Each structure stands twice: as structure tokens, then as C-alpha cells.
Amino acid sequence: MNTNSASQTDTANDASHHESKSHNKVKIQDETIANPNPLNMDQQDQEASSNKTAAAAPTPTSQSSGATQQRSKRMFGVLMGTLQKFKEQNANNVERDSKRRAIDTRLQEKLTEERNVLQYNRKTNLLKRKLEKAKLLETKTTPSLAYLPNRLTEQDQAIIDEQTREADEELQEHLKQCPPSEPSS
């Protein structure tokens, strides 16, 4: 950075020294007069021509305002296109999500129905086994053992009949409940 500023300073000093020697005098009709302005004539000519060009040419803002407007319209169009695409995707996502929720709801209902049917069938089978077991006598020990003697006494028969009647009533009560419909596969 120091090298660049030093070289720029040297270049500027050389240019100003050169200007002061050669261009301090302006030649007009073979007479030499001192130029009160130490600027380079080339620079003065460039400034004058740029002033004429600037006056004749439209200003950069007016020249670029058409291009800026076109660019703005183009960018606005791109933005509107992006927003429209997002809107369509959002609408598709909402539609897809609602369909997915409807499918999930149907699957949950079907799963609940299947569970209810399985639970009902399990309880029915349990009560049927209990009815079959009610036709036997049980020991009073732990664990209890089920047995059926070859000859039944009236007391044993009364116990079996009572157990069978209770098990049958329980099974019939269960079957009277509205059985769930079989799952539709």
C-alpha cells in the first residue's frame, strides 16, 4: 500500500512539473501569453467536450430509467411467477394432506373395528371354555384341579348344574350384546 501511494505521488509530481513547463503558456495567433489556469489543455478540451456531450446526451438516469423499468417489470414478473408457483404447490399440499388425513381416519376406524371384533371373539371363546369347564368339578386346593367322577352324587350334579347355568347365562349375556361387524377387508 505504501509502494502504490509513493508511486502515485511520484507520477503526480512528474505530471504537474511537466504541465507547468510545457502548458503554462497558451499560444494564440503566434503570441505567447501566460495561462492563468495551470491545467493541461488536453484536460480542458476533454472537460469542454464532456460538457457538450453531457448536455446533448440524455442523463444517465433518464437513459437507464427505461432499462430500469424493464428490469423492474421483469423482476416483478419473476417474483409473481414464484409466488404463483408457491400458491399452486401450497394448494396441492393442502389437498394431499386432506386426502392423507381422510385415509388415516379410515384406517384408524378400521383398526379400531378389528380390535373390537378380536376382543369380542376372544371373550366369546373364553366364555365357551368356561362353560365347558363348568361341566367339571374343581378341587378346593391351590392350584385347583378339574375332574369328573365316574358316578355323580346329587350334590355333585347340583354343583355342576349351577356352574353350567351361571356360565351359560354369562355367555348368553355376552352374545346378546351387539356383536361388532366383521371387518371388511
Tell me, yes or no, whether 78 and 44 share the same domain.
Answer: no
String of DSSP letters for 31-63: EEEE-SS-S-HHHHHHHHHHHHHHHHSPPHHHH
pLDDT, residue 144, reads 87
pLDDT, residue 178, reads 74
pLDDT, residue 23, reads 47
pLDDT, residue 20, reads 47
Helix/strand/coil for 86: helix
Helix/strand/coil for 20: helix
Does residue 80 form part of some domain?
A: yes
Identity at 128, one-letter amino acid code: K
Helices (H) and strands (E) in the chain, counts: 4, 4
Tell me, yes or no, whether 94 and 172 share the same domain.
Answer: yes
Does residue 154 form part of some domain?
A: yes
Scanning the structure block, which residue is given the C-alpha cell 349351577?
Answer: 162
Final residue belonging to a domain, choices 57, 86, 109:
57
pLDDT, residue 58, reads 53
Tell me, yes or no, whether 89 and 173 share the same domain.
Answer: yes
Does residue 13 form part of some domain?
A: no
pLDDT, residue 66, reads 86
Give the residue among 126, 146, 128 at the shortest CA–CA distance from 136. 146
Does residue 4 form part of some domain?
A: no
Total domains in the chain come to: 2
Tell me, yes or no, whether 137 and 112 share the same domain.
Answer: yes
pLDDT, residue 172, reads 92
Expressed as residue numbers, the domain containing 49 is 20-57
Give per-10-residue mean pLDDT for the chain (185 aa).
52 50 50 51 59 52 77 92 90 90 96 94 94 91 90 93 94 84 58
